Amino acid sequence: MRVQTLVILSAITAISITAFSLIGSDKPLKKSDIEYQSKTSAEFTKPFEVPLINIPEEEFLLAIESRFIQTVTKKELLDQSSIEPFLGEDELRSIVSYNSVEITVFKENNEKRPSAIGTSEKLNEKQLALIRSLDYSANIYIKADFHRKVEGSDELISGYSTPHITIIPETQAEYIQGIGSLTSYLRDNSYRQTRMTNKSELDPGKIYFTVSKNGIISDVRLSSSCGYPLVDNKLVDLIRKSPGLWNPAMNEDGEAVDQELVLFFGNMGC
């Protein structure tokens, strides 16, 4: 009887320790831990599903957007006669005078960057000509040097602003199944590669691709690596082979046009 009691107590203790290690720990479970626990539990009890949605994990950045957050349609840009709609309200309230205003076409990887310089917030003929030459998905940045008032005084100091802007179609390209389902496809199918990355060592990766006027993905190209070539190559391949359909972008006349988009991945960059 004493032996049986000891055996029962030992079993209860073992179960309690196991339960505490699984439930009482502050550390998030790894995917490998989840898979192992699922398999071992199935050997003794009926199989069960782990609620992965409730398990914290470090996210590997995946986002599909225009190159820059600040955007303007081509029609809106052509209607402008000043740079001030692209500056922040706080900046505009403090600016007293402009020294120079340069509009530059943004290019990746130090390519030649056409630009046009003015001396006020009003766009001059060279700047207007540069703007008129740009097509959808072009990117520009404005370098405005000015004198501004220090808040709460009449003191003037030098300041500058550099808004970066992407020119977008009047109606942007749309992934019919929803952009969330596309990023889920990329995340799920690159997990074997991304799970081996160290978040502190990730770089901001960028992959450009075009949604053609026929709704087909083309011109997929790696612009910058996340620091892990296997991840870069896998994501390029997945975008090329991505399932689903796109509604193409349209201009102000309702005509289909190409639109370039960017997959940002790895770490947050600029």
- Let me know whether 15 and 83 are in one domain: no
- Let me know whether 163 and 180 are in one domain: no
Distance CA 140, CA 142 (A): 7
- Let me know whether 175 and 238 are in one domain: yes
pLDDT-derived band of residue 58, with 50, 70 and 90 as boundaries? low
Distance CA 238, CA 228 (A): 16
Other C-beta atoms closer than 10 Å to the C-beta of 116 total 18
Q: Which domain holds residue 248?
A: 61-67+171-266
Other C-beta atoms closer than 10 Å to the C-beta of 119 total 12
Boundary (domain end) residue, out of 168, 185, 205: 168
- pTM higher than 0.95 for the full model? no
Residue with tokens 């630009």: 115
Our CA angle for 182, 194, 108, nearest 5°, is 70
**pLDDT value at position 127?**
98
> What is the overall mean pLDDT for the chain?
82
Region 36-64 average pLDDT: 44
Boundary (domain end) residue, out of 168, 194, 227: 168
Residue with tokens 């009003």: 122
Give the residue with greater pLDDT, 207 vs 23: 207
- Let me know whether 184 and 160 are in one domain: no
Q: List C-alpha distances in Å: 13 to 16, 40, 114, 226.
A: 5, 19, 74, 48
Helix (H) or strand (E) holding 72: strand 71-73
Q: What is the CA radius of gyration of the chain?
A: 27
- Let me know whether 77 and 98 are in one domain: yes
Region 178-201 average pLDDT: 95
What is the share, in percent, of the chain residues with pLDDT greater than 70? 78
DSSP states along 54-75: GS--PPPEEEEE-SSSSEEEHH
**pLDDT value at position 110?**
72
Q: Write the CB contacts of 171 (distance below 8 Å, at least 6 apart in sequence).
A: 249, 250
| Domains of the chain: total | 3
Q: Write the CB contacts of 145 (distance below 8 Å, at least 6 apart in sequence).
A: 98, 99, 100, 101, 158, 159, 160
- Let me know whether 156 and 188 are in one domain: no
pLDDT-derived band of residue 111, with 50, 70 and 90 as boundaries? confident
- Let me know whether 155 and 206 are in one domain: no
- Let me know whether 176 and 254 are in one domain: yes
